[in-house]
Structures are given as structure tokens and as C-alpha cells.
Amino acid sequence: MKFLRLATAIFGCSFTMLALADTQSPSTPNNVSATSLSSNSIRVAWNAPWDDVGVHGYNVYRDGGYYDTVFSTNYVDESVNSGSSHRYEIVAFDRAQNFSIRSNAASATTSANGSITGAITPQSNGTPATPSNLQVNALNGNRLQLQWSQADNAVGYNIYRDGNYHSTVRNSTSFEDAVDFGRDYRYSLVSFNNQEQYSARSGEAVGNTSGSSNANSAQVLNDANNNSNNNNNSGYVPDGYNLVFNEEFRNYSLDTSKWNSSYRWGPDLIINSESQYYVDVINRPDFGHSPFEFDGEHVTITAIRTPDYLRDSARQQNYLSGTLATHNKFNLRYGYIEMRAKLPRGRGLWPAFWLLHSQDHDRRPEIDIMEMLGHEPNKVYHTFHRFENGNLRSTPSFTAYGPDYSADFHTYSVRWEPGLIVWYIDGEERNRYQDGNVSWEDMYILVNLAVGGWWAGEPDGSTPLPARFTIDYIRAYQR
């Protein structure tokens, strides 16, 4: 169904916006501090402000411009140069997208001589080893204890929680963390020495104080010796295919060498009567909102109601969302393409993973690897479109029934060969199309979260917002 995006473009569709009961903005974050952790990283921390229903997240501003969005009260900026100074400010927001006043600024200067802020005195020779044997145990209902083996040549450890920098310990191989009851927390470690040399990040361990299966015997998720992402093979890839593109989303910002954050025709063309505006954060970093959340393991595309102060910038569209596309970055002709993701549930939500023609000539093909309508979370669609003699031709939208695809991660993939398209879910063939009309043109990868439109319908009071489309990885293989 996605192809009609290009066939029926409609500008500036107008819909009635739901009234929000929550109009209270969070208070201004205070006690903002910035500390140099190394010659190429700065940690920013602040106190959680007050909000009548609770703060949801924070927009980080660097040197006066929007820089990133986080969901904890600290942030590590790892995109700084040795000997550079940067100024940081924080804006808090709640789930209704009420925004606080921007905080006072805090500044830090990274070291130019390789010294670690607050480093201890013992000398260390050699690059520190990656921490190992990380375990997380519940001490009580709101406290977890981390323990690990001493890493060779290490004098301290940076602790990451849920993908973000959390704390630093020195001369110790244990750490106690205050947490909420009943929630999973993911931890990993990086060791360092006095010469400001850092190890690779350790395998990840999960802890939970509720007594769940993860609580008392932590599950190591990303150990270097046991991680399918290291060989970039989900186990579903057909024999004879080699990796040619992969995005594991292990960073905290978009990799602009791989991605665009808009469609090839730009963000201002509204199509399919959809109600979202795709925020082009790469070309408009000062837009005032980013639809992309990063936790060091995944990227999440979020959809929110458009705040009043951004409606003009969003062409009066009722929602803000995001798209990623590899046009002008990566194209392929034939191959096996897959994504592991957790889809959003809710009326009016329309997540999609697809391939689109790179040039506007010939048959202009499109392969929809996965589309779902949020009010039918147990069904995804597979479709192939192309033009013939100027007329749109499409297969039926083949369906693939299954579990609730919004409840967990699943792998969605397609095998595209001359004359053949085969769609898979979790490695199981679900649909196929075999015909001489199968596309033979170069295509590129897209993933997006649409809201509204002629096919999905409009969100209603049951639609959870912000809506989240969480992606673990996207990979492509060819023979």
C-alpha cells in the first residue's frame, strides 16, 4: 500500500487536534553541571525538575542549538575534540509535550594532555582489558549490586546503564545502584587506565529487583564471544549471501554516512493524506524536536502530537514523526534485506520497512518488506508495486498473521532475486511473488512511522502517544 505515497501527493492536510488535559509545563531543570571525562567526552548532569504528571525526557542543547534527546538526568557527549569547550543547556518535557524553560548553561573544557578528571595515582602500563564476568544481583526491592572481575591494567570503570553513561568507580570491582522495583536495568562497563586509554565496552548484564528471571542471575546479552550482532548474521540469512550494509544502532546519534532523515523528495511533501510531519533532524537540527531516541542498543522512531509552537514549522500537521532512508548513501540490486524491530500498537499508526526505486524512470518499483496497521497488531502486509506503461500495477497486499507484533521483537526480511520476491518473518517464509515483472532496478532502504492517512485512519483516544517503533538492526546481504 505504501506506493500510493508517490501516486497521490496531498499537501497540508488538516485534521482536528485532540485536546490535551495536561497543559502544565515541567519546571526548569536546575543544578546543571558539565564535567570533562576525557579528552573526547563531557558528562552533563542535572536535577530532575517537577511536573504535575511526571517528566518524560530532556532535550540537550549544545552551544545554543538543539543537540540530542535523552530520558535520564545525565548525558555523555562523546562527539567533542581534545581541548575544546562546550556550553550545555537542558529543556524538560512531559508525555503531553509540554516543554520547560531552558535551563542555565553549564560549560566544560576537555583535556588536551590526556589526563582523566579525578584520576587516581597508581600507575598503569598497557591498554586496559575489557571488563568480564559482570553480574547483577538484587540486594533488596530497590537496590542492585554489580560485581565483575578486575581487568588487567585498569584503574577504574565507567558504568553504563540502559546504554547511557551512569557512574564511575575507581579501585573497586563492585557498585551498588538505587533503582525502581520491578524494572529491568541493563548494565555494561568500560575500563580505563591513568593514561586515559579505554577498553571496549563489556558484555551487557540485566538486573531486576522483583525476582524475575533476570534479577538474580544476570543474563549477558552482548558478550564479545556470544553476540550474533558481531558477525552481523541473524541466523536467517540464506547460504551464499554476504553482508554489504549494516546498521546496529550502537551509537547515540544518526550515522549520516548511512542515513538521511527525510524522504528523497524532502520533508514538506505530505502524501497519502497522512497526518505526520517527518522531522529532518540532519538538515534541520534546530527544528526543536527529534523523533529519534537512542539507548546504545536500538533506535526508536517516536510519534507525538505536534506542539503548538512547532505547527508552523510542521506545515500544520498534527503529529511529528521520523523516517530513515539510504538514498544517495546505499543502493542495491537484488539481495536479502532484514530488520529486527518491535512495532507500535494503536489506531492510526502505520510503521513500514520498504525498498524504493533510486531513479524516477522505467518501472519505478517498490517492495514493501513489512507494513502494519496499528489497530491490527497481529497482521503485517507484504506488497510489490511497479508502473507499466504509466499505470500503477500492484500485487495484492499479502497478509502474514501471527502473534501481537507490538509485544516483542521480530525479524522482517525479504529475498529479492531476478523474477522472485520472498517475504519472511523470523526466518519463516510467509509470502512469495514470482513473475518477470519483478524489479531489476537499483533500490534503497527506508523505514518510517506514519500517522493517519487513507489506509491507517486517524488516531483516536485509544492510541498511545508517544508511539514507539523500536529497531534493533537493519542489514542487507548480496551474493
- Name 387's Cβ contacts closer than 8 Å, sequence gap at least 6: 363, 364, 393
User: Would you say residue 214 lies in a domain?
Assistant: no
- Name 364's Cβ contacts closer than 8 Å, sequence gap at least 6: 6, 357, 386, 387, 441
Q: What is the CATH number of the domain that holds 171?
A: 2.60.40.10
60: domain range? 30-109
Confidence at residue 211, expressed as pLDDT on a 0 to 100 scale: 57
Tell which residue, 299, 35, 341, has the closest CA to residue 165.
35
The reply to whether 265 and 382 lie within a common domain is yes
CB 70 within 8 A of CB 58: yes
Question: What does the chain come to in residues?
Answer: 479
User: Would you say residue 385 lies in a domain?
Assistant: yes
The reply to whether 258 and 304 lie within a common domain is yes
Confidence at residue 436, expressed as pLDDT on a 0 to 100 scale: 81
* DSSP category for residue 198: B
The reply to whether 244 and 200 lie within a common domain is no
The reply to whether 355 and 444 lie within a common domain is yes
Calculate the CA 477 to chain-centre distance: 22
Give yes or no: 204 in active site: no
- Residue type for position 415: R
Confidence at residue 123, expressed as pLDDT on a 0 to 100 scale: 39
User: Would you say residue 122 lies in a domain?
Assistant: no
Q: Is 184 exposed, middle or buried (0-12, 13-18, 19+ CB in 10 A)?
A: middle
Active-site pick, 176, 196, 371, 458:
371
Angle made by CA atoms 297, 306, 301, in degrees to the nearest 5: 15
CB 262 within 8 A of CB 325: yes
Confidence at residue 477, expressed as pLDDT on a 0 to 100 scale: 94
CA count, 13 A, side-chain hemisphere, 88? 30
User: Would you say residue 51 lies in a domain?
Assistant: yes
The pTM assigned to this predicted structure is: 0.56
- Name 293's Cβ contacts closer than 8 Å, sequence gap at least 6: 57, 69, 71, 299, 300, 302, 468
The reply to whether 344 and 387 lie within a common domain is yes
Residue 194 CA: distances (Å) to CA of 76, 113, 127: 20, 12, 10
Angle made by CA atoms 298, 294, 463, in degrees to the nearest 5: 85
As for how many domains the chain has, the answer is 3
The reply to whether 373 and 424 lie within a common domain is yes
- Residue type for position 119: A
Confidence at residue 196, expressed as pLDDT on a 0 to 100 scale: 66
Where does a domain end: 59, 77, 109? 109
Burial 26-46 (b: 16+ CB within 10 A, else e): bebbeebebebbbbbbbbbbb
The reply to whether 241 and 291 lie within a common domain is yes
Confidence at residue 220, expressed as pLDDT on a 0 to 100 scale: 35
The reply to whether 97 and 138 lie within a common domain is no
Measured CA to CA, the distance from residue 477 to residue 77 in angstroms comes to: 33
The reply to whether 137 and 101 lie within a common domain is no
User: Would you say residue 354 lies in a domain?
Assistant: yes
Confidence at residue 357, expressed as pLDDT on a 0 to 100 scale: 92
Give yes or no: 371 in active site: yes
User: Would you say residue 57 lies in a domain?
Assistant: yes
User: Would you say residue 440 lies in a domain?
Assistant: yes
Tell which residue, 161, 138, 128, has the closest CA to residue 211.
138
The reply to whether 461 and 335 lie within a common domain is yes
Residue 122 CA: distances (Å) to CA of 5, 116, 139: 62, 13, 31
pLDDT-flagged residues of the chain (< 50): 4-20, 114-124, 212-230
The reply to whether 434 and 311 lie within a common domain is yes
The reply to whether 261 and 203 lie within a common domain is no
The cell for 121 is 595515582
Tell which residue, 476, 4, 5, has the closest CA to residue 241.
476
Active-site pick, 196, 293, 366, 417:
366
Where does a domain end: 52, 76, 109? 109
Confidence at residue 21, expressed as pLDDT on a 0 to 100 scale: 58
Tell which residue, 30, 27, 22, 71, has the closest CA to residue 51.
27
Where does a domain end: 158, 190, 207? 207
Confidence at residue 115, expressed as pLDDT on a 0 to 100 scale: 40
SS3 call for 6: helix
Q: What is the CATH number of the domain that holds 401?
A: 2.60.120.200
User: Would you say residue 342 lies in a domain?
Assistant: yes
